[in-house]
Amino acid sequence: MTKKIAVLPGDGIGVEIIAEALKLLDALKNDGLDVELTEAPVGGAGYDAAGKPLPDETLALVKQADAILLGAVGGPQYENLSRELRPERGLLGLRSELELFANLRPAILYPQLADASSLKTEVVAGLDIMIVRELTGGIYFGEPRGIRKKDNGEREGFNTLVYSESEVDRISRVAFDIAMKRGKKLCSVDKANVLEVSELWREVVENVGQEYKEVELSHMYVDNAAMQLVKWPKQFDVMVTKNMFGDILSDTAAMLTGSIGMLPSASLDANSKGMYEPIHGSAPDIAGKGVANPLATILSVAMMLRYSLDQPALADKIDTAVGRVLDKGLRTPDIMAQGCKEVGTVEMGEAVLAEL
């Protein structure tokens, strides 16, 4: 059956990198990939086209799509807009409208790029971690929240960290399922020594773990997890954690790899419908120059094939092609190293295409 993919290039380099990803998707049609691609504006482009960052037509399109491929949003020309019209609101709208509660952030360091990390090569070469972050609950959304005045006139800010059993249950199932497809190790990160929410979190994760006996489950406090990620990251396979801890730890893990232009991400709903995007932004400083690294977006396509379109063989094909291109020494400026050949966005995209 034809799968519908909504393609949202967004702003800045989003447009350039999505163009390369689309060439790959087109080429994979020869391998039997049956997809229908429809483009729509979001972010600043949405504001320009329809006066808001998530236009109604775009929302209707993504709602009936099987998967969404997104470039990036944002740009200096939109910074003075009111909060609800800013490009980033388009992203938040997509996440909440589609109930994308599971954020998958791999931190993979291709051995060919080990020099790009600020850590020692032996600590990071070949790193392959998957961080599963809860995305629609926790302290970022908990009520009550606000800034209020105390009896003595002093102001105080407050937020609520709340997780229900069902929220923990569904995110842990996503993490266990992913662990089953990988190294069968799952580390749940919490703060159960201090927070009641974490006590419940740990209990629910343990319970779900009873159904996944093959997966080796461990628990770690978030402060220790932050240390261990930097000390010996290769001890981890899959990590699962709540929204705020995941926000911070996934950025730490991403930077272990040293190259923001290489990292894909996925956000999934309960039925494996997902939105796939590079973790980087619209990079206004290099937009339009033809030098943006398209590999994070290309690897996002591989994730889409794996997690939403049930095409693991095609996903492997893309991953392998990217590895071969790096083996050949082709590098965009952000990952350039001595002895390699510097290429632009289009040349990099076409090199991957040729390897396919």
The contact set with ligand NAD (CB under 6 A) reads 13, 72-75, 88, 91, 260-261, 277, 280-286, 292-293, 296, 334
**Which residue stretches of 210-309 are H helix?**
222-231, 243-256, 295-307
- Least distance from C-beta 333 to ligand NAD, angstroms? 7
Q: Which is nearer to ligand NAD, 137 or 278 (CB)?
A: 278
d(C-alpha 240, C-alpha 171), whole Å? 8
Residues 219 and 204 sit within 8 Å (Cβ to Cβ): no
Q: What is the DSSP letter of 2?
A: P
User: Least CB distance from residue 83 to ligand NAD, whole Å?
Assistant: 12
The H or E element containing residue 69 is strand 67-72
* β-strand pairing of 185-190 with 35-39: unpaired
DSSP label of 189 = E
Task: Give the contacts of 88 (CB within 8 A, at least 6 positions apart).
Answer: 43, 53, 73, 74
In DSSP terms, which residues pair with 277 in a beta bridge?
A: 265
Q: Which residues are catalytic, by number? A: 140, 191, 223, 247, 251
* Size (the chain), residues: 356
DSSP state of 118: S
